[in-house]
Amino acid sequence: MISIETRDFGTIEVDEKDVYDFPNGLYAFEDSKKFALLSPLGDDVYPMWLQSMDDPGLCFIVFNPVLIDGGFTVMLADNERSQLGLDKDGDATALVIAKVPADYKHTTVNMKSPIVINKQQHKAIQVILPLDYPFRMPIYAPREVK
């Protein structure tokens, strides 16, 4: 276990299996290279927190994009697979970063630039998808009732 300082939970202990190396950092936060994926609501329960281990004030709320759009797909280029340590059949997990305003009902997620994680290698990168996904997709948008 590793003791880390967090933005939202104070000092906590995290398992090394929940720590990921981001060799390129995240867009606009290239200097932060290590993040812990926190599941305060229970294992694999969303939302989760992606807490920088380099900067306690840097933390992102993340969701599984498939829960928001069941058809969500990430196609990785060969160089991205290589950065993650994935072979051609390797499996990765995608996460999308949320922007949560004071009125949480207006929360959006960035479906265009997901974070892709290789849980076995503890590596992660952020990619920009060539598909037509939005940068700000509402997650609590009113749905038509039939």
How many residues in total does the chain contain?
146
What is the band of 89 on the pLDDT scale with cuts at 50, 70, 90? low
| CA–CA dist 84, 70 (Å, integer) | 24
Q: Encode pLDDT of 61-87 as tens digits.
A: 999 999 998 889 898 888 999 999 987
**3-state secondary structure string across 99-133:** ECCCCHHHCEECCCCCEEEECCCCEEEECCCCCCC
- Respond yes or no on whether the N-terminal peptide bond of residue 65 is cis (omega within 30° of 0): no
Which domains are seen in the chain, by residue range?
2-129 (2.30.290.10)
What is the band of 40 on the pLDDT scale with cuts at 50, 70, 90? confident
pTM: 0.88
Closest CA to 48 of 59, 62, 66: 62
